[in-house]
Every structure is written in C-alpha cells, then in structure tokens.
Amino acid sequence: MFTLVDFHPPTNPLFWPGLAAFMWLFETETAWALLKTDLPGLLSAVGFQSCDRRLFAGGSLQVIHAYR
C-alpha cells in the first residue's frame, strides 16, 4: 500500500483564500502545478490499483491510498 497526502483544489470555495495564502507564503510554483495533476490517474498509469481518494478540509487536502 502506498499513501500520499497532498493539496487538492478545494471543492468548497470558502477554502480557496486560505489555501492560496498558504501556497503563496510557503510553496513554489510546482505546488500550484500539482493542483492540476490527476495523482490517482498517474498512480494507476504506473501500475497501482484501487487508488482511493478521500478529501478533507473543504476538499483542499487529499489522502490517496493506492495498492500494488
């Protein structure tokens, strides 16, 4: 099992300002680009199966469990 915790584009618009402020202060442009990346899709493409994603904090945080 592989577990990944990362940012995710918020599903609740009220969480965008907080995420944007955090990313602006502490992250790089790479982190902004990762918001657009389909991480479960990439994990599936390299052989992981059953990529389960759970969203937290208004959808701004994702926990992905992938199995191989």
pLDDT in tens, 25-59: 999 899 899 899 999 999 999 999 989 999 999 99
- How high is the pLDDT of residue 17? 96
Say whether 48 sits in a helix, a strand or coil. Answer: coil
The closest alpha carbon to 64, from 48, 24, 17, belongs to 48
Q: How far apart are CA 30 and CA 35, in angstroms?
A: 9
pTM of the model: 0.84
What contacts 11, CB < 8 A, 6 or more positions away? 55, 58, 59
Domain spans of the chain? Answer: 2-7+24-67
The predicted-structure confidence for 11-23, as pLDDT tens digits, reads as follows 999 999 999 999 9
